[in-house]
Amino acid sequence: MDFLKRHLFLILCGVGAGAGVLLGATGLRAMPKVKTDLEAAAGVYKNLETLKPVNQQNIDAEKRRIDAILADRRKVLDRAAQLYHHQPLLEGVFPQGPREKRVEFRNKYNEAMRAVFDSLRSGGPPSPVDVERMKDRIDTELASERQFGADPAAAGPARTPADVLTKAGARTDSLARASVAAAQRVYCYAVNFFEDKPPDKVASLEFTMAMKDTSTLEPPDAVDCWRAQLTYWIQKDVVDAINAINQQAVDAARAAGQDSWVGMMPVKEVISIRISTEYVPKEGDLYAPAQPGGYNPALVPGTAESVFTGTSSGDSFDVLQFTTKLVMDQRDIPLLVQRLTSNSFHTLVRASYKAVPPNKNMQGKIYGPEPAVNVVLDFETVMLGETFRQWMPDEVCEKYEIKCPERKGKDEAEEE
């Protein structure tokens, strides 16, 4: 560098002399180009004047700075991997597992999703069979009263001053008594995705339908397996958060000598959990946000433009959005959000809720004495490529034009 600075004037003179010789051959029409070349050379000289002298000390300092940045990056990625705590349901199925592994994965996925749903300790309102059985029980009780006299403890007004059905008023109401009995058996209401459902019911959890038929030996494709794995990870995180805050209520009730039932739970019903069907792009079709109320599934926003963070998939990470629609105690919404987002890569992007009308007749779904709300919570989750793309099937990488890690060849894998 010092050599250039000391001898640049001579170099420029040489360039000018060469240009003069060239003029003799090209004539005056070449003059503008020569002028441009000289101005460019002068610009290079000015830029060189601003550079600091390069020596080994500066080189070593820059190398230490780069090493420190890389070390910090490695720490961040290692910590991220710990926070994700996710592993595939079946080892060897991703990224390019053989056919038999995908068949085994389908069975594993079914077992895992059943376990997630069962962990809710959920149920539904009374069935027609439950109501008929309660009618028979009431008839038996009335016959006993005619013979031995009524129980004095069953006397009292049929309704409270707020017009809510009392225990005395429900004595001969088979639907109300069956509804109370059903509520006392569960921690929350939910609809199982394996059951045959009438048109007015939707499954609470999202089940990848390509995984449903476990009787065939034809394997699901890799894209469906990856979709099933992603939705399982997210839904397990949500259900674990719900179970955690409901269990706190159970522990408190037991300490107070009270019964544990849906009416005293923070989360009283899981109406739906749904995940975006594609990785979130920067731009796309915009949809009206899901509104609280009713029992239809809430659909996810779908694009980065739909949420305030504006986060979309990129070179270093992939983004999914998911939505939960619940009935819960309004006061416990922050507790659920905190449980789901703390030390995780899930971020709340929207919350909306409306009051659930009181069930004064105690029929159907009973949510307890405290005011309940129907709430829609939209989230996004960031999945770092460093952690997840090692498992991403080639078909998924190609579909989304994602640069995935180089795969080991079949011969290399067999050698190991």
pTM confidence score: 0.79
Helix 174-183 and helix 128-148, axial crossing angle in degrees, nearest 10: 110
More confident residue, 122 or 18: 122
**pLDDT for the residue 331:** 95
Edge-to-edge strand list for the sheet holding 372-384? 122-123, 188-189, 267-275, 317-329, 372-384, 346-355
Alpha-carbon span 113 to 325, nearest angstrom = 19
**pLDDT tens profile 365-402:** 999 988 999 999 999 999 998 889 999 999 999 999 88
Alpha-carbon span 265 to 183, nearest angstrom = 11
pLDDT band at 250 (very low <50, low <70, confident <90, very high): very high
Find the mean pLDDT for residues 185-190.
96
**pLDDT for the residue 169:** 82
pLDDT band at 1 (very low <50, low <70, confident <90, very high): very low
> How many residues would you count in the chain?
416
Position 322 pLDDT exceeds 60: yes
Alpha-carbon span 371 to 404, nearest angstrom = 49
- When mean pLDDT is compared across 20-24, 290-294, 321-325, the lowest value belongs to 20-24
Find the mean pLDDT for residues 288-310.
87
Share of the chain above pLDDT 70, in %: 80
Q: Are 304 and 310 spatial neighbours (Cβ–Cβ below 8 Å)?
A: yes
**pLDDT tens profile 192-248:** 987 666 666 789 999 999 998 878 889 999 999 999 999 999 999 999 999 999 999
Strand (E) or helix (H) holding 374 = strand 372-384
Alpha-carbon span 262 to 188, nearest angstrom = 5
pLDDT band at 260 (very low <50, low <70, confident <90, very high): very high
Beta strands in 306-345 (DSSP E): 317-329
Find the mean pLDDT for residues 281-303.
84
Strands 317-329 and 122-123: unpaired
**Which amino acid belongs to residue 181?**
A
Strand (E) or helix (H) holding 273 = strand 267-275
Alpha-carbon span 123 to 27, nearest angstrom = 95
**pLDDT for the residue 31:** 43
More confident residue, 169 or 3: 169
Alpha-carbon span 68 to 24, nearest angstrom = 58
Alpha-carbon span 228 to 212, nearest angstrom = 11
Which among 189, 263, 205, 262 has a CA at the least distance from the CA of 237? Answer: 205
- When mean pLDDT is compared across 76-85, 185-194, 236-245, the lowest value belongs to 76-85
**pLDDT tens profile 96-116:** 999 999 999 999 999 999 999
**Exposed, middle or buried: residue 200 (CB in 10 Å: 0-12, 13-18, 19+)?**
exposed
pLDDT band at 17 (very low <50, low <70, confident <90, very high): very low
Helix 31-49 and helix 2-26, axial crossing angle in degrees, nearest 10: 180
Strands 317-329 and 372-384: antiparallel
Strands 188-189 and 122-123: parallel
Q: Which CA distances in Å does 230 have to 97, 118, 282? A: 17, 19, 20
pLDDT band at 12 (very low <50, low <70, confident <90, very high): very low
Task: Tell me whether the omega of the peptide bond preceding residue 95 falls within 30 degrees of 0, making it cis.
Answer: yes
**pLDDT tens profile 128-169:** 999 999 999 999 988 888 877 766 656 778 888 888 888 888
Position 32 pLDDT exceeds 50: no
Q: Are 395 and 198 spatial neighbours (Cβ–Cβ below 8 Å)?
A: no
**pLDDT for the residue 65:** 85
In eight-state DSSP terms, residue 348 is E
Beta strands in 117-189 (DSSP E): 122-123, 188-189
Find the mean pLDDT for residues 327-336.
96
Following CA atoms 231, 232, 235, 240 in sequence, which dihedral angle do they give, to the nearest 10 degrees? -160
Position 292 pLDDT exceeds 70: yes
Position 4 pLDDT exceeds 60: no
Q: Are 34 and 56 spatial neighbours (Cβ–Cβ below 8 Å)?
A: no
